[in-house]
Amino acid sequence: MDLTPLEPWIARKIGATGALTRAALTAYQLAALNETLAWVRARSPFYRERLADAPPTLAALEDLAALPFTTADDIQAEPLRFVCVSQSEISRVVTLDTSGTTGHSKRLYFTADDQALTVDFFRAGMSTFTRTGDRVLILLPCARPGSVGDLLAQALERLGAEGLRHGPVRDVTATLDVLARTGAAGLVGMPTQVLALARYPAQPEGLALRFALLTTDFVPRAIIAAVEGAWGCVAYHHYGMTEMGLGGGVDCVARRGYHLREADLLVEVVDPATGVPLPAGQSGEVVFTTLTRRGMPLIRYRTGDVSHFIPGPCPCGAALKTLAHITHRRDNVLDLRDGDALPLCALDEALFALEGVIDFSASFERRPSQDTLRVCLAVHGDESVMRSRARRALLDLPALAEAVAGGALRLVTAATSATHVPSPLKRTFNDGRVTCGEVGGIFPSQMT
């Protein structure tokens, strides 16, 4: 099995001689961490105050656990107080609309060098499955310089491949035609949008996809299976968020979890309630610290994503850690009346496993005597049959089955013919509703 190309890339970045070792990487991370802490204390008004009581330097990476967290609310409230360089050095500002109560947006600031680091990571990560001469269809925002699709296209060019700047899917048949006409070997896109392409009944002749990289949102196993089954390609996961600089980690050929850009990011998994770092194998909230960013570094940023480090070596032979695929977000969980919890990912896995399902929306109504969960699917196929299949699939979920059987929850399912492309924005529980897909859904802006 081929070693992840991230490993020799990281070894070169940290100046390691010979094979990368955890000891060499740990020493590098500690030095980079202390340099970053000194940088933000000197230049960021926010961190100058937040870290006022912290020791001037850390003696070990484990000492990071004593430092306070940074949250999305912190950035939302006062983003400019994080910035460590003059405004003239900022080349890209990304605004993320939020569903918070303050109504303020999160703004992230990047220098040209910060974005160059992301391009370099994309180049190394894409080389896992991209060959010289490949054409890769980019189904992400591409139009603006410094957008995620633009950075990816630059990275592919450095690999000797061609990034086809398409943008999010607006017309399924038109995008499929581009895939066939260009002979694209791979594509990069959002899970539900790629699913809509893979499950379109009239597939064009001449598709030659070898790989698909799914990114920007939780990737259900059911969507991986559907994409691979439809096209005979291999589907990979990418993990990243704007706060990370758009790139965080990517599957190796083993495809059991992400290898991370550990020269640029220090990643922890912590107990969501206590904040205590957890050992490998225990699931918790992903927290990261930037090690090389200069425009707007982040210290112990709480992502809200839930995962764990996989114990033991990766089958690819990497010394790098492996972060298991993200299972869900902490705020994408619905608390049912009987005390059970229903994560959004459970609905994803149950419904996207049904052949013909393209998208779905759901709404949750809490009433004094009985709550109601309404699920509406966008489907290819008989709507009545699909509605019944969806109900059976949902009632296979123990939490839902118990709530319905006990009378605490009424489950209503509906299906309509698929006439739209799933939204290119993140799926989320929001304000007591389940907002999934565009079938009556409501979305915060999450893409750049």
CATH number for the domain harbouring residue 156: 3.40.50.980
Q: Is residue 316 part of a domain?
A: yes
**Shared-domain flag, residues 108 and 256:** yes
Is 98 part of any domain? yes
**57 and 108 fall within a common domain:** yes
Alpha-carbon distance of 358 to 193, in angstroms, equals 9
> Stretch 179-192: mean pLDDT, rounded?
97
**Same domain for 101 and 13:** yes
DSSP-derived 3-state class of residue 61: helix
50 domain residue, yes or no: yes
Separation between Cα atoms, residue 289 and residue 82, nearest integer Å: 13
Q: Which residues pair with 307 in a beta bridge?
A: 284
pLDDT, one tens digit per residue, over 342-396 is 888 899 999 999 999 999 988 888 888 898 999 999 999 999 999 999 999 999 9
Given a cut of 50, whether residue 446 has pLDDT beyond it is: no
Q: Structural domain tally of the chain? A: 3
CA dihedral 144, 146, 152, 154 (to 10 degrees): 100
What is the average pLDDT across 227-236?
98
Burial call 64-76: b when 16+ CB within 10 Å, e when fewer: beebeebebebbb
Query: What CATH number should be reported for the domain holding residue 358?
Result: 3.30.70.1350
DSSP H helices, 219-332, are 221-231
The verdict on 162 and 177 lying in the same domain is yes
The answer on pLDDT for 135 being more than 70 is yes
Q: 245 in a domain, yes or no?
A: no
Same domain, 376 and 401: yes
The pLDDT, as a whole number, for residue 427 is 62
102 pLDDT band (50/70/90 cuts)?
Answer: very low
C-alpha angle 274-275-279 in degrees, rounded to nearest 5: 105
Q: pLDDT per residue over 396-407, tens digit each?
A: 999 999 999 999
Residues 45 and 88 in one domain: yes
Q: Which of 209, 239, 269 is the last residue of a domain?
A: 239
Query: Range with the lowest mean pLDDT among 128-137, 208-217, 258-267, 418-427?
Result: 418-427
Averaged pLDDT for residues 75-87 = 96
Instruction: Work out the percent of the chain whose per-residue pLDDT is above 90.
Output: 81
Instruction: Give me the mean pLDDT over the 204-217 stretch.
Output: 94
> What per-residue confidence (pLDDT) applies to 338?
75
Q: Are residues 144 and 230 in the same domain?
A: yes
Among residues 276, 303, 329, which one ends one of the domains? 329
Co-location of 183 and 85 in the same domain: no
- Which amino acid belongs to residue 175? T
- Looking at 26-30, 104-108, 146-150, which range is the least confident one? 104-108
Listed residues 295, 329, 363: the one ending a domain: 329
Note the pLDDT of residue 435: 45
Contact assessment for residue 292 and residue 244, using Cβ atoms and an 8 Å cutoff: no
> pLDDT tier at 217 (50, 70, 90 boundaries)?
confident
- 297-316 in b/e form (b: 16+ CB < 10 A) is bbbbbbbbbbbbbbeeebeb
Q: How confident is the model at residue 423 (pLDDT cuts 50, 70, 90)?
A: confident
Q: Is 100's pLDDT higher than 70?
A: no
Residue 440 within any structural domain of the chain = no
296 within some domain: yes
The span from the CA of 333 to the CA of 150, in Å, is 33
Q: Please tell me whether residues 163 and 179 are part of one structural domain.
A: yes
The answer to whether position 124 is within a domain reads no
- Domain shared by 151 and 178, yes or no: yes
> Do 388 and 357 contact (CB within 8 A), yes or no?
no
> What are the tens digits of pLDDT across the range 19-73?
999 999 999 999 999 999 999 999 999 999 999 999 989 999 999 999 999 999 9
Answer yes or no: is 63 within a domain. Answer: yes
Same domain, 415 and 371: yes
Which structural domain, as residue segments, surrounds residue 144?
Answer: 129-239
Per-residue pLDDT, 339: 78
Same domain assignment for residues 198 and 291 = no
**Cα 422 from Cα 168, distance rounded (Å):** 10
